[in-house]
Amino acid sequence: MADATAHEISPKDLRARHERGERTPLLDVREQNEWNLFRIPGAIHVPLARVSGAAGEALANTPEGEIVVYCGRGARSAQAAEMLRAQGYRATSLAGGITAWIDAGGEVEE
């Protein structure tokens, strides 16, 4: 069995990247009603149910490299990241989701 943490990034590490000016593409796989409440600035929205079909189109204009996927608490994003890796993307799940991001002091927008 693969180590799930090998494909995760902590909110602290993602914040450190942002503070260094690195802009890793972010993919929010929460439902529309969750997205409407708040999101990480600059994120792209593709609900989990559409990831396998719509992610390629949504990510077409992102630079090559790693994509960080997030949801509410981390379960859906881990699943989405796995689907994206199967499609050839370098996808990583945000450990703990947007909840952990907020708890770590990460910025959100409404």
Write the pLDDT tens digit of every residue in 76-97: 999 999 999 998 888 999 999 9
Question: Distance between CA atoms of 4 and 85, rounded to whole angstroms?
Answer: 13
Per-residue confidence (pLDDT) for residue 71, from 0 to 100: 98
Summary mean pLDDT of the chain: 89
Question: Would you kindly state where each structural domain of the chain is located, as residue ranges?
Answer: 24-103
Tell me what percent of the residues of the chain surpass a pLDDT of 70: 91
Write the pLDDT tens digit of every residue in 41-64: 999 999 999 998 877 777 776 667
Measured at the CA of 71, the angle between CA 99 and CA 47, to 5 degrees, comes to 150
Domain 24-103 carries which CATH code?
A: 3.40.250.10
Per-residue confidence (pLDDT) for residue 5, from 0 to 100: 57
Residue 6's CB is within 10 A of a number of other CB atoms, namely 7
